[in-house]
Structures are given as C-alpha cells and as structure tokens.
C-alpha cells in the first residue's frame, strides 16, 4: 500500500487475469460451454456447426463451422492488441448478421475461450475472405493455457502485478482451403474431467445399444418411464441441454412440437388464447427454420426436444404471453407461451418451468421457480407448467457475463418478472379450478361405480330383498338408515361425517356395508364375510 498514491477519485479497472479467469471457469455445464462455441458460429452466419468428441473415448473436441471465419486481424486484436473480451461484433450499433440477418448473440467476446473449460490447450484454424481486400486467407493458431498459474491468482492480485501471463499463443499463415471455409477450433488436450464425466452413467455401459438416430434419441428422452433427462446419463444430458439452449428449431412437425395440437379438445382449440399462443410458437419455428442453421453433435443433428404434453391423458391448456412496453425508457418486447397440463407433472422434469430465450438462445434451462414466483413454491401444481418467453427487444442489460443467468435487480428483468407473475396468477387460478373440477368429477364417477357395485352385491346377497337408495334426509338424520319394511338401505346425502369428500364417501360406504351385513340372514361368520367383501370393494374402487 505504501507505493500507492492516495487519491480521492479514480477509474475502476479490471485486471486482465480476472477476465481470463472468468472466461475459463464461467460455464455451469459442458453444454453451456459448447453453447458459446455454437453461438459464435451462429453469429458468423454459418449454416452448419459440427461438434465432435471422438465418442466413446471423448479425448478430442472439435467445433467446425462453415461461417465467415475470424480474420487474422480480429484474432490478433483478440489475443494481442485489445485482449480477450474485446468483441467488435456489435460495433456501430450492428444488431443483425450480414447474410441471414440473425440477431447477433455475442456481446463481450469471451465465448471462444469456453473451450478452455474443457481443454488445457487448443488450436484454431480460420479460412476466410478478407473483407477489405476480398482476398482469401487462412491461418492456424495454437493457444496454450498455463494451468500452473491458476493457484497463483490471489497472490498475483495481491502483489499488484495485474498483467500476469495466463496463456501463450502463436499463429502461422497457411494456404486457404475452400473445403475448410469457416472457423474451426479443436483439441486433443482435453481435460480428464470432461472425458470422465461423459463416460460416466449407465448409458456409457450400454454403448452397443446407443442409437444416434434422432427419432430414437427423442424416444429415449421422452421415455414415459423417465422422470428426468438426467437418467439418460451425462453424455445424452449434454446433447439434450445443448439442443435446448441453441438457436434451433423444435424437433418434429409443427402440429406435434412443441405442443401437440391434437391433445386439445375442439372447444379449447377454438379459443382466442389458444390460437394466439400457437401462432406465436409457429412463427418462431418458421423464423428459425428460415435461418438455415444446423448443429451436428457427434453426427446427430440437434433439434430442440420439446414435446407437450408427453402423455395424452392430461387436460392441456395453452396461454399466450405478449408484452411490449417501455421500461425505464427502454423498450421491452417479448412473446411466448405457458403450457399447463392438469393434473400431471411435466416430463421430463427439465421442461418444468419457464425458459427465457434471448436472441434465439436459451438463457439457462427451464427455471422451475418461474423467476421466483412466490405464490407457488414447489407445489404440485407448479410442476404442471412449462413455457418459453422469446425476447425480441430489451433485457440484454440484465444478462450476466455467463449468459446463463440474469441480474435480478435489472429493471427489464423486474418488468419481465412482474408480467410473468401476473400471468401465472391467472394460469394457476384456472388450473386449480380445473384440477378441482377434474378431481370432483373423478370422485363422483367413483361414487357412482361404488354405488352400482354395492347395489349389486347387496341385492344378490339378500335375494333382491334389500335395495340401496340415496336420499337427502337433513343434517341431523343418521348417515345410513335401514327400512326393512320397504326393503331399502337409505344413504342420507345431507350427512357429512368427515370434512374431506373422499373420506366422507368412504365412511358412508362402510356404514352401508355394516348395515347391509347386519340385516342379511345367516351366521355371524357369513355376515362378517359379507361385510369384508363390501369393504374390499369400497377400498378397491375409491382408493
């Protein structure tokens, strides 16, 4: 401290070493690290990006795209002149890519180094056309990350030597190769942790059964016996997560994915809200298809695997989400949908919640807290809902550096949160009502079935001498009474023996069984036997 000149004001700076550390340990999962490489290809107007991991050894990673490449000037700017994080993609308010007019994802320029999280060193190769001269050029570069520097970080910062080397790079000019047009990043210096992670899990042990056909993979993900994609093991989980995060169309046909229109009844399909929500989803799908962007992972062409509902026997509901307002003087515009299924959990569990998609890229997976919706915290009903919000304008300032989470104190985030929670209020109100109605109708159906079967049993046992009748007799009258003269057992429908309807139905039915058994002829044992028969019937039907 003795060497620092005391001042009363100044500029806040970030040490180079900090930027580098951020770029190397920033990403939550393997898929989010790959997502960064895919995003760079998307921004480069690539039509295809291929990621390979040398399955099943996972000792090599390559990411090859056919985009416009990275010029040597940009490379030198990145690694030498201005440093990592000096992205120029959006310079001059440029917001769309040149060729396909895609919304530019890159903002800071740290995405390329996501591979640093998976490897110790890597190569890049770019075959591109120089924008100024129109000349075709190519270079190869090697980047070595100095791992031994990591434990020294704190010491470095404490010592004030901010400009500590954390890696080395070198490049050489090579011949342009048209077949390699674009940008490629590859490494065989893969971190052991990556290979070990990919190899773990049951799927790896059953490699001979593993299919690389997209339809079969989809069936694996949507196997009704699976609760979660995690059950597929880390390798398939990475594929699924990457697909969900990338700017890609949905898997399958428009009528089936992400929402299976056929599972909705005609009344629901005729509603304005359904039509609006479907139109939002389909418009997005068509837009993404037009972008001609493909991601191929270990030979599998990825698509977003969203299939709602997963099973047909649910009551599905679809709600549109639309917002276009100025928040803190800046426009916030988005659309999307909420899907609810009464009364089953969303499967796979990873689709439960809301996913925010900014510039067509998923910002993290599905947030099952619905941006911290406090009215439904881990309730059963909260597991019935899934949805996506596609941001068209705004919110970018809320995006954290990892592009995987939001600053919750950002005004746009607050605006989005408030709107979503308002919509969720109505959604949960409706699905709660629907669930209640559904549950009551199921209960009534059960009571009906029970009455019929008990009627049959009693009638058979008493040779038609006794019949069962339901009748309102006032709250003070007994729950069940027997009129032998008229040959009826009367169930007083006004009587409530338990607070819960289901419990009440069970108690009433047992009362009937008791009276029916009591009034039948025969020995004590045979009456007991009849009573047990009826109770078994009751429990089988109601429970």
Partner 1 sequence: MSHRNPPYDQYDAKHFARYHGWLPASKEFMQATDKETIKYFTLCAKEAIDVFMFEKEGLLARDDEGRLHDVVICENDETVVPEILSLVRPPLLEALIIGNLEDILTIGAALSNDVDDARSLEARKKQKNRDSFKQLEGYFPFDVVNFDTCGSLVSKPPGKNRLIKALERVFELQQLARAFLLLVTTPISGLNRKFENAFREGLSQNVKSYDEIGQALRTSKGSDVYDKIEIESRIALGFAKSVILPAAQKYGWNTLHRGIYVYDSPSGAHRMMSSVVRLSAASEADRGTHVQDIVQIIKRMPEYYSSKNPTQKAEVRKHLDEIIQYREKVRGMYTLSS
Q: Which is nearer to partner 1, 90 or 256 (CB)?
A: 256
Report the candidate in 302, 322, 309, 296 with the shortest Cα–Cα distance to residue 250: 302
**Residue closer to partner 1 (CB basis): 78 or 171:** 171
| CB 89 to partner 1: min, Å | 24
The SS3 of residue 360 is: coil
Distance separating alpha carbons of residues 241 and 254, to the nearest angstrom: 21
Judged by CB under 8 A, the chain residues 434 through 473 that form the site for partner 1 are: none
Among 30, 32, 117, 121, binds partner 1 (CB under 8 A): 121
Task: Give yes or no for residue 88 binding partner 1 (CB under 8 A).
Answer: no
Span 57-86, contacts to partner 1 by CB under 8 A: 57-60, 62, 64
What DSSP line would sit under 45-105, residue for residue? T-SEEEEE--TTT---EEEEE-SS---HHHHHIIIIIS-TT---TTGGG--B-TTT-PBP-
Q: Is 331 in the site for partner 1 (CB under 8 A)?
A: no
| 147 near partner 1, judged by CB under 8 A | yes
Query: Which CA distances in Å does 81 have to 72, 86, 91, 131, 161?
Result: 12, 9, 17, 20, 19
- Chain-centroid distance, C-alpha 267: 28
Locate the DSSP E strands across 207-280. Answer: none
Choose which of 18, 21, 22, 54 interacts with partner 1 (CB under 8 A).
54
Closest approach, Cβ 255 to partner 1, in A, equals 17
Q: Mark the segment that binds partner 1 (CB under 8 A) among 172-180, 279-287, 356-364, 425-433.
A: 172-180
SS (H, E, C) 19-51: HHHHHHCCCCCHHHHHHHHHHHHHHCCCCEEEE
211 contacts partner 1 (rule: CB under 8 A): yes
Binding flag, residue 189, partner 1 (CB under 8 A): yes
Distance in Å, CB of 45 to partner 1, minimum: 18
The set of residues, in sequence order, having a beta carbon less than 8 Å from that of 448 and lying 6+ positions away, is none
Whether residue 412 contacts residue 332, with contact meaning beta carbons closer than 8 Å, is answered with yes
Can you tell me which of 303, 305, 347, 357 binds partner 1, judged by CB under 8 A?
A: 303
Q: Which is nearer to partner 1, 149 or 477 (CB)?
A: 149
Contact between 55 and partner 1 (CB under 8 A)?
A: yes
Give the three-state DSSP class for 312.
coil
Applying CB under 8 A, among 210, 497, 535, 542 the residue interacting with partner 1 is: 210
What six digits make up the tokens of 393?
A: 């304008």
Written as six digits, the tokens of 250 are 């949905």
Q: Residue numbers of the site for partner 1 (CB under 8 A)?
A: 50, 52, 54-60, 62, 64, 120-121, 123, 125, 138, 140, 144, 147-148, 172, 174-175, 177, 180, 184, 186-189, 192, 207-208, 210-214, 216, 294, 296, 298-301, 303
């Amino acid at each position: 401290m003795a060497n620092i000149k005391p001042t009363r004001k100044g500029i806040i700076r970030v040490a180079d070493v900090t930027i580098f550390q951020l770029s190397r340990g920033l990403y939550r999962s393997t898929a989010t690290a790959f997502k960064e490489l895919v995003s760079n290809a998307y921004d480069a107007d690539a039509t295809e990006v291929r990621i390979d991991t040398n399955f099943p050894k996972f000792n090599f990673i390559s990411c090859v795209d056919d985009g416009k490449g990275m010029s040597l000037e940009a490379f030198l700017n990145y690694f030498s002149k201005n440093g990592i994080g000096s992205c120029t993609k959006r310079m001059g308010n440029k917001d769309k890519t040149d060729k396909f007019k895609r919304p530019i994802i890159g903002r800071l320029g740290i995405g390329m180094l996501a591979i640093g999280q998976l490897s110790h060193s890597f190569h890049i190769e770019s075959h591109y056309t120089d924008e100024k001269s129109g000349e075709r050029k190519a270079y190869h570069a090697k980047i070595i990350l100095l791992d031994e520097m990591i434990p020294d970080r704190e010491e470095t910062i404490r010592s004030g030597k901010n400009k500590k080397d954390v890696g080395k790079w070198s490049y050489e000019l090579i011949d342009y190769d048209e077949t390699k047009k674009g940008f490629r990043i590859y490494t065989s210096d893969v971190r052991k942790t990556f290979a070990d992670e990919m190899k773990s899990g049951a799927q790896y042990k059953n490699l001979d059964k593993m299919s690389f056909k997209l339809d079969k993979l989809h069936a694996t993900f949507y196997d009704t016996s699976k609760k979660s994609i995690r059950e597929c093991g880390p390798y398939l989980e990475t594929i699924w997560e990457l697909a969900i995060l990338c700017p890609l169309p949905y898997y399958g046909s428009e009528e089936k994915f992400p929402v299976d229109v056929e599972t909705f009844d005609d009344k629901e399909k005729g509603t304005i809200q359904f039509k609006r929500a479907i139109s939002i989803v389909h418009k997005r799908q068509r837009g993404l298809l037009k972008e001609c962007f493909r991601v191929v992972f270990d030979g599998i062409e990825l698509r977003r695997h969203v299939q709602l509902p997963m099973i047909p026997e649910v009551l599905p509901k679809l709600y549109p989400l639309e917002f276009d307002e100025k928040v803190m003087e800046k426009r916030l515009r988005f659309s999307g949908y909420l899907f609810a299924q009464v009364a089953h959990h969303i499967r796979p569990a990873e689709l439960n919640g809301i996913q925010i998609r900014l510039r067509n890229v998923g910002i993290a997976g599905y947030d099952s807290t619905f941006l911290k919706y406090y009215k439904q915290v881990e309730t059963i009903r909260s597991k019935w809902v899934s949805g996506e919000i596609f941001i068209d304008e705004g919110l970018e300032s809320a995006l954290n550096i990892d592009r995987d989470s939001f600053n919750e104190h950002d005004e746009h985030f607050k605006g989005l949160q408030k709107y979503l929670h308002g919509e969720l209020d109505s959604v949960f109100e409706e699905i709660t009502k629907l669930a209640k109605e559904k549950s009551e109708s199921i209960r009534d159906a059960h009571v009906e079935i029970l009455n019929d079967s008990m009627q049959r049993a009693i009638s058979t046992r008493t040779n038609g001498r006794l019949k069962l009748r339901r009748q309102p007799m006032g709250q003070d009258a007994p729950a069940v009474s027997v009129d032998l003269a008229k040959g009826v057992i009367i169930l007083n429908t006004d009587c409530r023996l338990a607070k819960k309807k289901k419990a009440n139905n069970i108690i009433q039915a047992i009362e009937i069984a008791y009276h029916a058994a009591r009034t039948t002829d025969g020995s004590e044992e045979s009456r007991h036997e009849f009573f047990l028969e009826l109770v078994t019937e009751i429990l089988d039907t109601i429970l």
